Amino acid sequence: MPKNKPEMRANDVLEILQLFQEHKIEVIIDGGWSVDALLGIQTRTHEDLDVAVFHKDVPTIRALLAARGFQEVFRDDSWECNFVFGNDQGHLVDFHSCTFDETGQNIFGVAYPYDALQGTGLINSYPVRCIPPDWLVKFHTGYEIDENDYHDVKLLCQHFNIEIPEEFREFVLRDTA
C-alpha cells in the first residue's frame, strides 16, 4: 500500500477537500500543496497532500477515508495527531491534527500556532485554506532540507518578498555559482 507510485494531483486534492467539505470538516492545506495554493499554480509534483485538521474530526476523517478504500500507512512518526492514509491508486494524505481553546491557544496535538492556519489560496481556481507564506517559510527550517524544500521556499520568498532563511544558504550559493 500504495501499489502505484504516490502522487497527489490537483484533482485528487480537490476530491479529498470536497469530501471533507460535504461533511463540514475544516481542512487547512500544508506542505507543498500549500505553497502551490498560495502561488495559484502547481509548480512541481507532490507525493502526498499534507493537511492540518481539528482533532475532534479525526474519527470522522478515518471513517470517510476507510469507506473509500484508504487505510492507514504507518510511519516512524505516526501517532494519534500525525498519521497518513493511502490507497492503492497512490494517493497519500498526511494528517496533522490539533485542538485550540477558546482563546486560540493550541492545547493538544501538532503545535500549530493559530495564526499559521489562517492563509488562503487557490488550487485549480478553487479557493482553499492553507498555511500563510511567512509560516510556510518558518516551517521549512529546523530539519534536514532537500531540493523540494528549497524549490518551495525559493518560490515563496521571491513571490512574497520574504528573506530566504540561513538554512538554505548552500542552495542559494549553488544557484548563484
Kindly state whether residue 164 falls inside one of the protein's structural domains: no
Residue 139 lies in a domain: no
- The CATH number that applies at residue 51 is 3.30.460.40
pLDDT per residue as tens, the chain (177 positions):
445 678 999 999 999 999 999 999 999 999 999 999 999 999 999 999 999 999 999 999 999 999 999 999 999 999 999 999 999 999 999 999 999 999 999 999 999 999 999 999 999 999 999 999 999 999 999 899 999 999 999 999 999 999 999 999 888 888 886
The verdict on residue 169 lying in a domain is no
Which pairing describes strands 27-30 and 71-73: parallel, antiparallel, or unpaired? unpaired
In the chain, the number of structural domains is: 1
Whether 58 is covered by a domain: the verdict is: yes
Burial of 173 (0-12, 13-18, 19+ CB in 10 A): exposed
| Residue 77 domain boundaries | 10-132
Q: Is residue 36, in this structure, part of any structural domain at all? A: yes
The pLDDT value recorded for residue 1 is 46
